[in-house]
Structure 1
Amino acid sequence: MTAIKSLLFGASALMLAWPAQAHDDAAKAPPSAVEGIYEIATAPSPERIRSDIQTLVDFGTRHTLSETESDTRGIGAARRWIFEEFEKISANCGGCLEVMYVSDTIEGETRIPEPTEVVSVLAIQKGTIDPNRYVMMSGDIDSRVTDPLNGTSDSPGANDNASGMAGTLEAARVLSKQKFAGSIIYAGLSGEEQGLFGGKIVAQHALNQGWEIKGVLNNDMISNITGVDGVTDNSTARVFSEGTRANETEEEARTRRFTGGEVDSPSRNLARYVKSQADQYMTNLNVMMIYRLDRFGRGGHHRPFNMVGIPGVRIMETHEHYDRQHQDLRTEDGVTYGDTMDGVDETYAAKLTALNAITMAGMAGAPPFPANVEASGAVEPSAKLEWETPPKASNLAGYRVHWRLTTEPEWTHSRFVGKVNEWTFENLVIDNYFFGVSAVAKDGSETPVVFPGAAGRF
Structure 2
Amino acid sequence: MLLTLLRRSAVLAVSLALPLAAQVPAAPADPAIAKALQQVSADRIQATITKLVSFKNRSTLSSMDKDLPPGTGILAAADWIEQQFQSYSADCGGCLEVKRDTFVEAGTPGTRILKDTQLNNIYAVLKGTDPAQSARRVLVTGHYDSRNSDNFNTHDPAPGANDDASGVAVSLECARVLSQLKFPSTIVFVAVAGEEQGLNGSRHLARLAKAEGWQLEAVLNNDIVGGDTTPGDTTQDKNKVRVFSEGVPGPATIEQVHLIQTLGSESDSPSREIARAILDNSRTYMGQHAQGAAPAGPGKARSMAMRLVPAFQPVMILRRDRFLRGGDHTSFNLEGFPAVRITEWQENFNHQHQTPRVEKGIEIEDNIKFVDFNYVAQVARTNAASLATFAAAPGVPQNVHVTTTNLDNNTELSWEPPVGMPAGAFYEILSRPTDQTDWTAVQPVHVTKITLAVSKDNTIFGIRTVDAAGHRSYAVYPVPARGIRNAPGVGVPAVQPVVK
Counterparts of 1:251 and 1:67, CA distance in 2: 43
Give 1:421-436 correspondences, 5 Å limit: 421-426=448-453, 428-436=454-462
Map Cα deviations across residues 246-271 of structure 1 (whole Å, 9 max, x no partner): 11222222222222311110000100
Displacement of 1:389 after TM fit?
1.3
Moved more, 147-156 or 221-230: 221-230
Equivalences for residues 300-315 of structure 1 within 5 A: 300-315=327-342
Q: Distance in 2 between matches of 1:143 and 1:254?
A: 40
2:44 pairs with 20, 39, 48, which one? 48
Does the CA-based 8 Å contact 1:225-1:233 persist in structure 2? no
Unaligned runs of 5+ residues in structure 1 are 1-14, 20-29
Counterpart code for 1:210: G
Distance of 1:396 and 1:308 partners within structure 2: 34
Deviating more after overlay: 379-388 vs 210-219: 379-388
Aligned mate of 1:275, from 265, 268, 279: 279
Q: Hey, what does 1:18 align to over in structure 2? A: 18
Is 1:264 paired with 2:268? yes
TM-score normalized with structure 1 length: 0.91
Distance in 2 separating the partners of 1:66 and 1:31: 47
1:457 aligns with 2:492: yes
- Change in 2 beyond 3 A, CA 1:285/1:31: closer
Deviation at 1:32, TM superposition (A): 4.2
* Residue 251 of structure 2 corresponds to residue 250 of structure 1: no
**Hey, what does 1:408 align to over in structure 2?**
436
In structure 1, what is the Cα distance between the partners aligned to 2:60 and 2:191?
A: 13
Whether contact under 8 Å (1:225, 1:348) holds in the other structure is no
Question: Partner of 1:91: helix, strand, or coil?
Answer: helix
| Aligned residue type for 2:94 | G
**Residue deviations 1:371-419 (CA, integer Å, cap 9, x gap):** 010112452121011111132222551111111111111011111102x
- Indicate if the aligned counterparts of 1:139 and 1:188 stay in contact, CA closer than 8 A: yes
In the TM superposition, residue 233 of structure 1 has moved relative to its aligned partner by 2.1
Query: The residue matched to 1:416 in structure 2 has which SS?
Result: strand
- What is the TM-score normalised by the length of structure 2? 0.83
Q: What corresponds to 1:161 in structure 2?
A: 164
CA distance, structure 1, for counterparts of residue 464 and residue 370 of structure 2: 40
- The number of residues matched between the two structures is 432
In 2, Cα distance between the equivalents of 1:436 and 1:281?
A: 22
Q: 1:67 to 1:200 in 2, by over 3 A?
A: closer
Match of 1:241 among 236, 240, 245: 245
1:151 aligns with 2:154: yes
1:58-207 residue pairs with structure 2 within 5 A?
58-67=54-63, 71-109=70-108, 110-129=111-130, 130-207=133-210
Deviation at 1:234, TM superposition (A): 1.4
Deviation at residue 77 of structure 1 after TM alignment: 0.3
Percent identity for Structure 1 against Structure 2? 39
Measure the CA separation in 2 of the matches of 1:302 and 1:31. 27
After TM superposition, the structure 1 stretch with the greater mean CA deviation from structure 2, 432-441 or 381-390, is: 381-390
Post-superposition CA distance 1:408-433 (Å, at most 9, x none):
11011111102x2112222x111111
The verdict on how the C-alpha distance between 1:277 and 1:93 changes in structure 2, with shifts beyond 3 A counting, is: same
- In the TM superposition, what are the counterparts of 1:301-450 in structure 2 within 5 Å? 301-377=328-404, 378-394=406-422, 397-418=425-446, 420-426=447-453, 428-450=454-476
Cα distance in 1, alignment partners of residues 261 and 474 from structure 2: 23
Query: How many Å separate the matches in 1 of 2:461 and 2:197?
Result: 40
Task: Work out the CA distance in 2 between the residues paired with 1:232 and 1:389.
Answer: 43
